[in-house]
Structure 1
Amino acid sequence: MTSRRQPPRTVPLWKAAAAALASALLITATTTTATADSGSPGAQRWKPTLRPHATVTPGQMRSDSDRIPKGFSKEQADRAETMEARAADGCQVYWPAPYEVCGAIRDKYNELGGPGSFLSFPKSGELTNPDGVGKRTEFVNGPIYWSPQGGAHPVVNHFFAAWARNGWEAGPIGYPTSDEIVNPDGVGRRQHFTSGDIYWKLNEAYAVRGAIRDKWAEAGWEAGYLGYPTSDEFATPDGIGSGARFEHGMIYWTAAYGAHPVSGGLLTKWELSGYEKGPYGYPVADRQPRGSSWDQDFQFGTMGFPTDPVAAVDPDDGDADPIVGDQVPVTWGDFAVDANTEGVGGPVVQEGPGSLEPCVAGESCMHTTPVSDEDPPDDPIIDGPDTQATFISPLCLDKPWDGQWWMERKHACMIWKDLAVDVVTLGTETGSIPFTVKTGVLTSHKSGEFQQEFRVDFHGLKGKTGKPTFRYKLTYNNAPAGSYSVEGAEDGSLIKSGQTKVIVVKWKQQAMADQALKYPVVNIAWNFGNLDPDIVPGKQWGNIRVATVRCDSTMKLSNGTFRQGCVFYGAKPEFKLTSVTPEQTWHVAAAIASGLPGSAGRPLHRQADKSKRDINRQYSCPRKGDVANARRLAGRSCDEYPFASSMEGAAAHPTLGRTVHANCNVKDLSITTGPDGYSVCMIDARQNSHSGSLLGKFYGEERVVDQDAFTLATSGGAPPGAPPGTP
């Protein structure tokens, strides 16, 4: 029979029972009481007040005098009346339902209140279940099941739906062994079965069984940190394990490792990694506290939250947050050291030139036509600090002096020659002032301040020039004047022939929130005035605008507090690998030669998310399991490229792993080429660890923040030796 497989009606139970009893039993009480029943969530029991049946004339049926409840026909009612007189021992018929309810099922039905209970009237006789052992009787609002091991118990509403999903009595949780029970929290309910339980809360019920149920019990049932179940047990796609979801976590089980909960931030990281299909595999232990963090062991590695544990064997590839130096630069020399202004061998970026506003006819005007072949004097008069070329790196000296910005990661410079101002006296051009502009900017990875020199070399005053003056004004993101300080020549100071005007501007550190980025824009505007009343002052302003600086507060001091630093973000920094770590240098060079990114045309990009870095690492260099065991060699550790701390790491192409040489001892991967994927090699462990530290230092000193591009340069590499036993 299949009728038992249908879910119960959703009509309120007490209404169905009350309607039936009002007709069948002639309810006379003007007031009745509906009380919550312990057998079904939301069900109510109707307790009627009864009077004897009306007198029935001989030859008449009860249906001729009593009103038949809705849902039953006269034929059914007459048949039920006939069956009442012939009921077998231990059985009972409940008019007008023409079915016998027998034995333990009858006793349970009567215990619950018979037709007046949440079950209402019977709608079947006693049926034998497909296993040939158990029995059931179906009622309007659910069945009562009986088994030798569990006795007789109703299964209704959401409990019935959950039991049906799990295969009824033939499924993994078997027969019911209890009625519904109110949980200690007074909110949820549960029902026990021979091999599991069903738990209900807020109109959802799910089965919990086996080792997952036992682990949930160990975690405190529904009152523990996992809360109520929110799914039935499910099989994992690989067919190896199973799992179940709870309000605040999951429990996963495998035959090899048993059942273990994963919750909170650890579950979030595991989800991001791809659950058991990802590089960590299945959980093999419960979580363990580590200070303010939690650690949990998985098949192929240990995960931590909110911070990862230090790797037991393999280096972390610079995965630790970059640490910047504690000492803040103050002097020009300090900034020059941090800015690395040697200008030799680094990547160079050319930006736009300074600007001159259009000339106005009949007024003093700056222009770029050479007005004199005269060289600057050997010993110019310097009005302002003598910076001794601290701010102008050799980078600019080797480039055309055409007003273009040239920059590396932490410094920029510009030289602009062949400029001149025409001097107009009483409407007639009477002289000119030729000059050269030089400027340099120094930033630091240890300070949110950056400093700029602006100098103008005057090459002699030609003709009648009156009393020219040097004028300038500064702006910093429209911030007030307190956002910067100036040392050097005064605004409006007189210009002398052969003189150099110098100012040094300290663009001060601005307040930033932790983990924030800011893009300051600064500008030095300048022109020339004149104290001679017969000479028209210049109205045109030159502009030296710096708009390619980025300051961030994403990196920390050794004490854990965030420290600001600034760089020219348009210049890609270069990580240099040398003979200091020859085997890792060799591996990176070979991997790039095989087609992987890292050269100037295909830079890498930093991955600052710890969980994603660890995912990269686990794909390329699992720390546990068969793959790790097969690669292991004394004194060596696993090196992957692209770095795990890059967005091009192994997770970007997890199925395209390869190696570059048999000496790498990575037999599970083949030697191939191509533009995508990752390379693995077992190299000297001390070199690997040291190179990881150098990479972390590089990130800090070059302020390589999340998604920043960087390139690599290699020199002095040497391959690892052949593994022991290699012919």
Structure 2
Amino acid sequence: MFTRRLLLPVLMAMVVTMGGGAAVADAAHDSPAWRPTSAPKGQVTPGRMRSDRESVPAGFGKADADRAETMEARQGAAPGCQVSWPAPYEVCGAIRDKYNELGGPNGFLSFPKSGELTNPDGCGKRTEFVNGPVYWSPQGGAHPVVNHFFAAWARNGYEGGPLSYPTSDEFVNPDNVGRRQYFERGTVYWKLNEAYAVHGAIRDKWGEAGWEAGYLGYPISDEFGTPDGLGRATRFEHGMIYWTEAYGPHPISGGLLNKWAQSGYERGPYGYPVADQRPRGSSWDQEFQFGAMGFPTDPAAGAVPDDEDAEPTVDEAEPVTWDDFAADARTGRAGPITLGKAGSLEPCETGTSCMREGTAVRAPRAPQDDEDPIIDGPDTAATFIPGWCTTAPWDGRWRTTRKNACAVWTDLAVHVVDSKGVEVGRVPFTVKTGILTSHRSGEMRQEFRVDFGAFTGKVGTPTFRYQPTYLGYGPDAYSIEQGAANGSVIKPGMRKVIVVKWKQQTMADDSTRDPATRIAWNLGNLDPGVTASSSGLVPTTGFRCDSTMKTSSGKYRQGCVVPGVTPEFELTASTPEQTWHVQEALRSGLPGAAGRPLHRLADKVKRDINRQKSCPRSGRVYEDRRLTTRSCDEYPFASSREGAASSNGPGRTAHPDCHVPDLPVTTGATGYSVCMIDEGQNSRSGSLLGAFYGRERIIDQDAYTLTASGGTPPPKP
């Protein structure tokens, strides 16, 4: 523990006896070349000083050494004191005894650098040494306080602070790692790097927890005051102890401490701890001024409805057929979104046969019997490409819902040329594609459809060729469920259709990925006079698959959506009081309607902090609001990043009949609203919100909006 200085060798001092005794030279200088001369008692002959013969240790000059030698010769003038050459200071009494017990000038303290000093309290004494002081008090005796221990004692006001005087030297702790030193009203503990003071009621509570061997470990701070001036606290390796005059000291550690820290410590919605932590099965609970906190689960979840404490679960059977995917995907509203460049065609190479994309050329359609269509591939009956996609104006972008994306490229044509580069015919076509995803599966289904019109000129015998690619994965990552054969012949008026299954890939639990697929295709030709064409490419990006949601059995289930589409949560008359509260909250200016979305907050700890801010589970606010058969409903939802503790705005209530006497009826764009509503409706609305999160695969930070209609206010209390 001690930081020891390397001391220069100290030669045995020449002792000049008092009372007429003969002077004795040290062995190093006992030679005929030097003999003491006669001098008055208690004096040293000038020119014969020790500093003239020996090197003076660093930190002291010749004048210091000569003065020390003179003082040594006069030791009888100060009984109970001693001088250690070359330090010209007397060390006396109990401090001298402790100094010698620790090795004197050859010990870790080294030489004195002051005489005995009186402390500011007029009672205690101290002598300072090269490597630290020794302090003495009538009640504690003499003890050194050095290095990190001295620094900690100094930070706490020396003997005038809360620790007062030392009452012991340093001790090695039972772990053989740390050290400690006792003071009148506390202890300083050191471990490897720094020392900190622990005292008063916090020290006593730490002792109850097992000292440094307990679950809190060593202190890593001195005691400090809280910003509100009401509390005191000390940090330990694995937790903290907070003290208030009203509630005394209480430890808080682990997940509870993390949760409380995120809430804003004592300034947050929970206030100060008022009891120690207690186990509850695999969880821990702790009471605070304004509510109970649990980790990892909320101790009051069964009694206080929680609109998101039950994580979104995905328990429906995984989709298998096209209709399964279509039933899942037909939710939300369609809108244009860019999923990536699509429909690109590579240019021709000079001197070779190729196809070129026609520009603004409406290709004539081949005559076709509606009862006997020419379809090479499955008839998907608009399962993948809904009517709203085919009828929308073509703008070069995909159109999507949350789980369905489609695109249409019309009025395209291939100019067929011979080997000399002369155009000999034209093949008009339209490209359509649609993709279905599911919140219940990491698979995707895609239809790729090319409709050919009436051929003109000499086109030879064109063929249809294609190659799917799941970027980043091998050929096992997809399969052709049904479709036209690769290399099959094209006829006028024919539709070539393939359906690709993009397979589910292994993902780590609680992770996300952004899959990208593409279908490259081209027209070959069986006529030797017309060679292979250039290719077209339909790439897709913009989907997101995640593995963040679980089944009720606790296993993660993958699912995929288009995150750029903002889903909408609809509140109806099925929960009239909760719906009414949301209606009023939106009317008062809070976010959530179109244009001002909410964003999901998946972190359980932060959600509970939001909820505790708006709906305390104990304390005066809780008691003043409490009504039989009613429970506290907050908006924005605690599971949103716009929730109460995150809003940076004031609380409000929607109407006096909400029975929230601590909050005013007001308006504003920020803040939160609280209303006491029917307990059953509150619980049901939470279940509906959780189901919405799961069905639309709304993960952390995803945006969503809501509509509310059909609400009725709660009855007068």
TM class by shorter chain equals 0.7 to 0.9
- Deviation of residue 172 (structure 1)? 1.4
The equivalent of 2:269 in structure 1 is: 279
Q: Which moved more, 1:410-419 or 1:92-101?
A: 92-101
- The aligned residue for residue 561 of structure 2 is 567
Find the aligned partners of 2:416 and 2:98 in 1 and give their Cα distance. 114
Contact kept? 1:471, 1:492, Cα under 8 Å: yes
Unaligned runs of 5+ in 1: 1-9, 31-53
Displacement of 1:238 after TM fit?
0.9
One-letter code aligned to 1:355 = G
Match of 2:382 among 368, 386, 389: 389
1:150-229 to 2 correspondence within 5 Å? 150-229=140-219
Partner of 2:253: 263
Distance 2:513 2:524 in 1: 35
In structure 1, distance between residues paired with 2:112 and 2:354? 109
CA contact (8 A) 1:318 1:694 kept: no
Shift of 1:236: 0.9
> How far off its partner does 1:566 sit?
0.9
The aligned residue for residue 714 of structure 2 is 720
Q: Give the Cα–Cα distance (whole angstroms) in 2 for the partners of residues 126 and 527 of structure 1.
A: 100
2:380 and 2:617 mapped to 1: Cα distance? 54
Which of 608, 612, 615 lines up with 2:609 in the alignment? 615
The answer for the alignment partner of 1:46 in structure 2 is none
Name the residue aligned to 2:628: 634
Give deviations 1:577-635, integer Å, cap 9, x for gaps: 22222222222233233332223322222222233323322333332333333333333
Deviation at 1:576, TM superposition (A): 1.6
Distance of aligned partners of 1:626 and 1:466 in 2 relative to their CA distance in 1, 3 Å threshold? same
- 1: CA distance, partners of 2:274 / 2:504: 49
Show the counterpart of 2:362. Answer: 370
Equivalent in 335, 342, 345 of residue 357 of structure 1: 345
1:439 aligns with 2:404: no
- Pairwise mapping of residues 667-678 of structure 1 onto structure 2 (< 5 A)? 667-678=661-672
Kindly indicate whether residue 502 of structure 2 is the aligned counterpart of residue 507 of structure 1: yes
8 Å CA contact 2:365–2:493 kept in 1: the answer is no
Take 1:302 and 1:560, find their aligned partners in 2: how far apart are those partners? 26
Deviation (angstroms), 1:309: 5.2
Is structure 2 residue 513 aligned with structure 1 residue 521? no
- Of 542, 549, 552, 1:558 maps to 552
- Within 5 A, what are the aligned runs for 1:231-242? 231-242=221-232
CA distance in 1, matches of 2:589, 2:611: 20
Paired with 1:694 and 1:381, the residues of 2 have a C-alpha distance of 47
Moved more, 289-298 or 575-584: 289-298
State the partner residue of 1:453.
Answer: 447
> Hey, what does 2:244 align to over in structure 1?
254
Larger CA deviation: 612-621 vs 367-376? 367-376
C-alpha change, 1:57 and 1:303, in structure 2 (3 Å) is farther
Which range moves more in the overlay, 596-605 or 501-510? 596-605
**Aligned residues of 1:470 and 1:529 also touching (Cα < 8 A):** yes
CA–CA distance in structure 2, aligned partners of residues 125 and 499 of structure 1? 111
Pick which of 698-707 and 300-309 moved more: 300-309
Contact 2:164 2:183 in 1 (8 A): yes
Counterpart-to-counterpart distance in 1, 2:102 and 2:395: 98
Contact 1:284 1:299 in 2 (8 A): yes
Indicate which of 577, 587, 592 corresponds to 2:581.
587
Q: TM-score, normalised by structure 1?
A: 0.83
- Structure 2 CA distance for partners of 1:139 and 1:461, relative to 1, 3 Å: closer
Q: 2:413, 2:614 → 1: CA distance?
A: 62
Deviation at 1:56, TM superposition (A): 7.7
Amino acid at match of 1:523: R
- How many angstroms does 1:305 deviate by? 4.6
TM superposition shift of 1:449? 0.8
Determine if the alignment matches structure 1 residue 494 to structure 2 residue 492. Answer: no
Aligned counterpart, 1:61? 42
Residue type of the partner of 1:687? Answer: Q
Contact 1:377 1:498 in 2 (8 A): no
Equivalent residue in structure 1 for 2:81, among 83, 92, 97: 92
**Identity %, equivalent residues:** 62
Q: Deviations over 1:230-250 (max 9, x none)?
A: 221111111111111223332
Residue of structure 2 equivalent to 1:695: 689
Structure-1 separation of matches of 2:133 and 2:337: 82
Residue 440 to residue 80, structure 1, CA distance change in 2 (3 Å): same
Match of 1:6 in 2: none
CA distance in 1, matches of 2:467, 2:103: 94
SS in 2 for 1:180: strand
Question: Relative to structure 1, is the Cα distance of residues 445 and 66 closer, same or farther in structure 2, using a 3 angstrom cutoff?
Answer: same
Q: Which letter maps to 2:42?
A: M
**1:209-255: per-residue Cα shift (whole Å, max 9, x none)?**
11211222222222233332222111111111111122333222222
Task: Give the secondary structure class of the aligned counterpart of 1:414.
Answer: strand
Query: SS in structure 1 opposite 2:333?
Result: coil
Alignment CA distance shift 1:566-1:78 (3 Å): same
State how far apart, in whole Å, the 2-side matches of 1:369 and 1:663 are.
67
Q: Kindly report the root-mean-square deviation, in angstroms, between the aligned alpha carbons of the 2 structures.
A: 3.6
Tell me the CA shift for residue 522 of structure 1. Answer: 1.7
Instruction: Give, as a single letter, the amino acid of the residue that structure 1 aligns with 2:156.
Output: N
User: Deviations 1:340-360 (Å, cap 9, x if unpaired)?
Assistant: 25xxx6252344784253775
Pair 477,122 (structure 1): closer, same or farther in 2 beyond 3 Å: closer
Q: How far does residue 666 in structure 1 lie from its aligned partner after superposition?
A: 3.0
Cα deviation, residue 306, structure 1: 5.2
CA 1:85–1:559: 2 relative to 1, 3 Å? same
Secondary structure of the structure 1 residue equivalent to 2:240: strand
Task: Quote the Cα distance in structure 2 between the aligned partners of 1:174 and 1:388.
Answer: 89
Measured after TM superposition, the shift of residue 700 of structure 1 is: 1.7
Correspondence 1:547 to 2:533: no
User: Residues of 1 paired with 2:560 and 2:581: CA distance?
Assistant: 32
1:574 and 1:327 map into 2 onto residues whose CA distance is 24
Q: How far off is 1:557 after superposition? A: 2.3
1:525-582 CA-partner distances (Å, limit 9, x unpaired): 3344443445x35724443332221111222222222222111122112122222222
